[in-house]
Amino acid sequence: MLFLDSFEILLLACENPITGFGDNKIVKRINCTHNIFSPSPVMIVADPFLVVKDDVLYLFYEEYRYREKGIIKMTSTDDLVNWEQPKIVLQEDFHLSYPWVFQYEGQWYMLPETSAVHEVRLYKAVDNLFDRFELSDVLIARGDCEQIPRMDFCDSSITEKEGIFYLFTTINVGRGNELHLYWSENIQGPFVEHTQSPLIVSDKYGRNGGSLIEWEDKLYRFAQDCDGEYGKNISLFEINELTRHKYDESLLQEDLLTKSGLKSGHQYNFVRFKGLNIVAVDQRIKIPYIGCKVKRLLKRWLK
């Protein structure tokens, strides 16, 4: 039997998205392929991000099929009951994930993970329906002469404060996840590395588990716990100070997902929609994909 790690997405309506879920209700679930005989299952639906525009809730997420490249999909609803058919909104010839979508000066952008090409890439929406995104700028790129990390520019997020854009991203050269910080006076760059970067070197806290979020005049960072295994849990930090020369954060809560009654996972995002706090998480599951094992054996036999 071949058991593979899979992820599925949950959307929850909850009381307080920061201090804890409280009483929560599942309003949407996106599953991976549960047909164990599928030779090419959707193994991962993960990295959910939410956007509210014109009284419509949009959900962006990564879809990854067995041994293929991740693509970005989107679905939407205006009532949390009826959802549009998911559609592909961004696809490249390399793996994509972490589709964080945000608005700046009337333009909608996506900052997906494009670590496969060792760059931080900024995409922009072609239209107001979010049907398609196209490349706008390369914010950071790995130089040819530099050492290539084994994990490069992962799960990047930007926040703006007093006219300065701060970009958080993760690099791993073998000593653990390093949370790096860059800043720029323009959303298109150029970005300069912060004097305190890397901010932290830790598999437990050094990789973003969702975009930075402002809530009740405070700025929060979600970190995914990768200590010992991938997709373990989420920790919550409050950012106390963020300037071009100083950075300080405080740990508020560990194991946010499992303490809220969910399974392990690595992504957390939320928005306010029609009077409700809607939280999007992914959670890890294991599924026996017999079809994948058969496909492997057939490929080996046909060589």
Q: Is the peptide bond before 41 cis (omega within 30 degrees of 0)?
A: no
**Mean pLDDT across 64-87:** 96
CB 152 within 8 A of CB 171: yes
**Mean pLDDT across 7-24:** 83
Give the model confidence (pLDDT) of 138-151 as tens digits: 999 987 656 778 88
Q: Who contacts 38 (Cβ-Cβ below 8 Å, separation ≥6)? A: 289, 291, 292
The CATH number of the domain where 98 resides is what? 2.115.10.20
Going by pLDDT thresholds of 50, 70 and 90, the confidence category of residue 22 is low
Residue predicted with more confidence, 64 or 5: 64
Domain count, the chain: 1
Distance between CA atoms of residues 43 and 285, nearest Å: 10
Give the model confidence (pLDDT) of 81-137 as tens digits: 999 999 999 999 999 999 999 999 999 999 999 999 999 999 999 998 899 999 999
The domain of 132 spans 3-302
